[in-house]
Structure 1
């Protein structure tokens, strides 16, 4: 599980440089897994979106380090794509992967989605990363479906209202 020195907070416009630095610290493979494109820089349109320049977007950072020198190590976002549906996006710096950081971020976004009365969350990922299905199933507690899109897969997790969640 993630280490206790992690802190989570909403993204603010002043985080642009810290997000760009975190993205540069990620390996090419990590960047490709997240954006399904090769390129050295954080896509400007995505950066604008997570920094709050698009209505209805929720973005959360995970930071590490002492309070006076915190460093961004992960970013999660949830952007509306249609009424009642939002798309998830998560980028975790290589050294923090497989330590529960992404799961904690997904859990927070699922909570926000429920509070906003969303009925589904979607994510697009490479077909080789189907383990994300299990993560969403665990965190959502509802039905999860997926459909192939060439070398990627579109995952949809259906949110149940909090009072109706089983298990």
Structure 2
């Protein structure tokens, strides 16, 4: 089975469990055994598919009684969520992370499909074709401006 497909399966399983609960606590070795994969595959899925940009907090404890806890963030108010996203963006953001933030905004019904598609188009590497450092900085400024605009519309 290829890694991408296995990652999708693990992600779907964890999201299904999270669909019924606000958090899930797993043991990396047990998950690896369940999906017949190496434990680093579980780490990969958690590190790339359950990020703050995607609306998740991840806590872990190492050792014999160790665990990984994934919590779906539910903020009380949209302005608070937008502020958190602005903090996460900082001075630079990759295209992938920007896309994750926009996807989260769309999934949480904070923006419509048309707005999401427009935002995605502006975040494209081909549109911001500069040297990578400048590209990430420009993308961060543009995305922060979008989020601030949404925040002020909410107030």
Output the TM-score relative to the length of structure 1: 0.29
Q: Which has the higher strand share?
A: 1
> Which structure: larger Rg?
2
Q: Which has the higher helix share?
A: 2
Output the TM-score relative to the length of structure 2: 0.31
